Amino acid sequence: MTRFIFITGGVVSSLGKGLASAALGAVLQARGYKVRLRKLDPYLNVDPGTMSPYQHGECYVTDDGAETDLDLGHYERFTGVASRQSDNITTGRIYSNILAKERRGDFLGATVQVIPHVTDAIKEFVTADLDDVDFLLCEVGGTVGDIESMPFLEAIRQLGNELGRERACFVHLTLVPYIASAGELKTKPTQHSVQQLQSVGIRCDILLCRSEHDLPASARKKIALFCNLREQAVIPALNASSIYEVPIAYHREGFDREVLRHFGLPQPEPDLGRWTEIVRRLQQPEGEVEIAIVGKYTDLLDAYKSLAEALTHGGIANSVRVKLNWLESEQFEGPNPNYESLAHAHAILVPGGFGERGAEGKIRAVRYAREKRVPYFGICFGMQMACIEAARDLCGIENANTTEFGATSDPVVGLLTEWVRGNALEQRSENDNKGGTMRLGAYECDLAAGSHVAEIYGRRRIQERHRHRYEVNINYKDRLEKAGLRFSGMSPDGQLPEIVEIPDHPWFVGVQFHPELKSKPFDPHPLFTSFVKAAVTQSRLV
């Protein structure tokens, strides 16, 4: 029997509800329970695929090709449970489904309304496709009081009623701010937030209080009194120096115990060994490497969330601290670029990206890494830029470019209009909608015998997640290979270049997919482990 834990947020946004949900999932797992996590997003986009990473952070892609909220990345990294299309829904998708039904006439003349039609659709989503897990943790995006969240709160209120207290638990995450002039933590915003939740009919069972300072017993008592809770159900959630400390901190504060108590479930001792080992390695590294990330969305680090985490995982695997140096690629453009900022990097990475701005700077960064023999990792756009760089500099194809930036006489990277997925042919055209039409999700890739990547993976067939519209043009393969760029990973039908590498270089790999999406702190991705290891070697040379 699946029990439902609904996680809402109050007072302010960005308190880390996604992380809180993920970490709770991890501790429940450590107690031996099976979990699944899911997110309800109140905005009107059908999915975050069309939203700018500047505004919304990274778009996380699942194996089944869904473009989802970055919180799903936290869920996977903390629990290892692969997310699916059925784990993230937005108001936009709910409405788009309902309106399509309405046009088909499926409502048989009924007036279509928020209650019950929208709320029913939300409830159906929350309760579908559960795999018989012990707990479904369902995070509601936004903060209580937002107009947009109302239908979601109403739907979970109804569900709470239908399931009963023994199958539904409401967790509310709030902020307890420290007011320096008063020298005190203030509980009033939390009280108001709980009242607001109550005004829509939701009685909070467990309160998670984010705060920068220790929550004294008096504050905990006061919150409990005013919010109609037992003191033990008011859980302090202090800032942690690493997100991977959070599962242990939650357990220490009794969060998982309260959840299990709420449901009247047994409380087997948790096995938190994997988390203590991760924290130990993070706190006591045996060295440090610096990795330069040459990108475009470097102001908002959430834009590269999974990437930053995967590099940290590579550090955990090698017992070193990985210092990330985020560099805006445009600084390497123009007649006299200054490479000073790359000079002390022990490795260089060009991540995924879209659009022409900054692309020439990325190509320059690739050239720097190739010529100076600094380990280079190109991910998606970073692989495409590496191929263009090689075509221009090693093959002398001056006009080598990608059609993403407009027509070109030498489309080394071109729009993909047809490809095979499993046994099906997928087709696209220039004028297709932008939403949901990229090559998305997990695809297989065959690694060449004796290649560097085959050695890194220790396997010949891999499966990785994609999210791109353009592809390295196979027609340039022979010329590029003659010039020293090996196409070491191909789609099983041999049509799509998936990985390129330079055998005569300490570490130079470009991949068309996003390996960072599958890395976990307790199971670092082999490419990141190997890349960070190469950075460690490099750090001993300079």
The residues carrying an active-site annotation are: 380, 514, 516
Q: Closer to ligand GLN by CB, 139 or 404: give it.
A: 404
Q: How far apart are CA 396 and CA 479, in angstroms?
A: 10
Contact residue for ligand GLN among 282, 380, 385, 534 (CB under 6 A): 380
Contact residue for ligand GLN among 352, 361, 441, 524 (CB under 6 A): 352
Q: How far apart are CA 407 and CA 165, in angstroms?
A: 61
Q: Closer to ligand GLN by CB, 121 or 379: give it.
A: 379
- The count of other CB atoms within 10 Å of the CB of residue 237 is 25
Q: Closer to ligand GLN by CB, 382 or 526: give it.
A: 382
Position of tokens 């809770």?
Answer: 229
Q: Closer to ligand GLN by CB, 160 or 414: give it.
A: 414
377 binds ligand GLN (CB under 6 A): no
527 binds ligand GLN (CB under 6 A): no
Q: At closest approach, how far in Å is the CB of 352 from ligand GLN?
A: 3
The dihedrals phi and psi of 216, each to the nearest 5 degrees, come to: -65, 160
Contact yes or no for 169/263 (Cβ under 8 A): yes
513 binds ligand GLN (CB under 6 A): no
Q: How far apart are CA 408 and CA 85, in angstroms?
A: 36
DSSP 438: S
For the chain, give the number of residues: 542
- Which window, 5-13, 81-89, 350-358, 517-525, contacts ligand GLN (CB under 6 A)? 350-358
353 binds ligand GLN (CB under 6 A): yes
Q: At closest approach, how far in Å is the CB of 353 from ligand GLN?
A: 5
Sequence-distant (6+) residues with CB within 8 A of 97 are 121
CA distances 459 to 186, 343, 445, 454, Å, are: 55, 34, 11, 6
Contact yes or no for 40/122 (Cβ under 8 A): yes
Q: Is the Cα torsion angle 313, 319, 321, 326 positive or negative in sign?
A: negative
75 binds ligand GLN (CB under 6 A): no
522 binds ligand GLN (CB under 6 A): no
Q: Closer to ligand GLN by CB, 152 or 381: give it.
A: 381
Q: Closer to ligand GLN by CB, 244 or 487: give it.
A: 487
Q: Closer to ligand GLN by CB, 376 or 381: give it.
A: 381
- Which window, 134-142, 219-227, 300-308, 346-354, contacts ligand GLN (CB under 6 A)? 346-354
- The count of other CB atoms within 10 Å of the CB of residue 396 is 10
Q: Closer to ligand GLN by CB, 149 or 384: give it.
A: 384
Give me the residues paired with residue 440 across strands: 467
Contact residue for ligand GLN among 6, 78, 381, 508 (CB under 6 A): 381
Contact track, ligand GLN, 166-205, x by CB under 6 A: ----------------------------------------
Report the site for ligand GLN in 4-43 (rule: CB under 6 A).
Answer: none
The dihedrals phi and psi of 311, each to the nearest 5 degrees, come to: -65, -40
CA distances 154 to 88, 134, 159, 173, Å, are: 18, 24, 9, 18
Q: At closest approach, how far in Å is the CB of 2 from ligand GLN?
A: 35
Q: At closest approach, how far in Å is the CB of 298 from ligand GLN?
A: 15
354 binds ligand GLN (CB under 6 A): yes
Q: Closer to ligand GLN by CB, 101 or 469: give it.
A: 469
Contact residue for ligand GLN among 47, 69, 154, 404 (CB under 6 A): 404
Pairing of the two strands 461-468 and 439-447 = antiparallel
Q: At closest approach, how far in Å is the CB of 380 from ligand GLN?
A: 3
- Which window, 161-169, 352-360, 370-378, 483-491, contacts ligand GLN (CB under 6 A)? 352-360
Q: How far apart are CA 471 and CA 334, in angstroms?
A: 27
Q: Closer to ligand GLN by CB, 93 or 296: give it.
A: 296
Q: At closest approach, how far in Å is the CB of 75 from ligand GLN?
A: 21
441 binds ligand GLN (CB under 6 A): no
Q: At closest approach, how far in Å is the CB of 437 from ligand GLN?
A: 11
Contact yes or no for 197/8 (Cβ under 8 A): yes
Contact yes or no for 189/222 (Cβ under 8 A): no
362 binds ligand GLN (CB under 6 A): no
**Residue 534 burial by CB count (10 A; 0-12/13-18/19+): exposed, middle or buried?**
buried
419 binds ligand GLN (CB under 6 A): no
Report the site for ligand GLN in 205-234 (rule: CB under 6 A).
Answer: none
Q: How far apart are CA 325 and CA 367, in angstroms?
A: 18
Q: How far apart are CA 263 and CA 324, in angstroms?
A: 43
**Of all helices (H) and strands (E), which one includes residue 250?**
helix 246-253
- The count of other CB atoms within 10 Å of the CB of residue 303 is 25
Q: At closest approach, how far in Å is the CB of 138 from ligand GLN?
A: 29
> Judged by CB under 6 A, how many residues of this single chain contact ligand GLN?
10
User: Helical H runs in 1-137?
Assistant: 17-30, 53-56, 71-79, 91-104, 119-127
339 binds ligand GLN (CB under 6 A): no
Q: At closest approach, how far in Å is the CB of 355 from ligand GLN?
A: 7
Q: Which of 401, 314, 405 is nearest to 356 (CA)?
A: 405
Contact track, ligand GLN, 450-489, x by CB under 6 A: -----------------xxxx-------------------
Q: Is 254 left (phi over 0), alpha (psi -120 to 50) or beta?
A: left
Q: At closest approach, how far in Å is the CB of 468 from ligand GLN?
A: 3
135 binds ligand GLN (CB under 6 A): no
For the chain, the first-to-last Cα distance in angstroms comes to: 58
Q: Which of 326, 384, 340, 324 is nearest to 359 (CA)?
A: 384
Binding residues (CB under 6 A) for ligand GLN: these are 352-354, 380-381, 404, 467-470
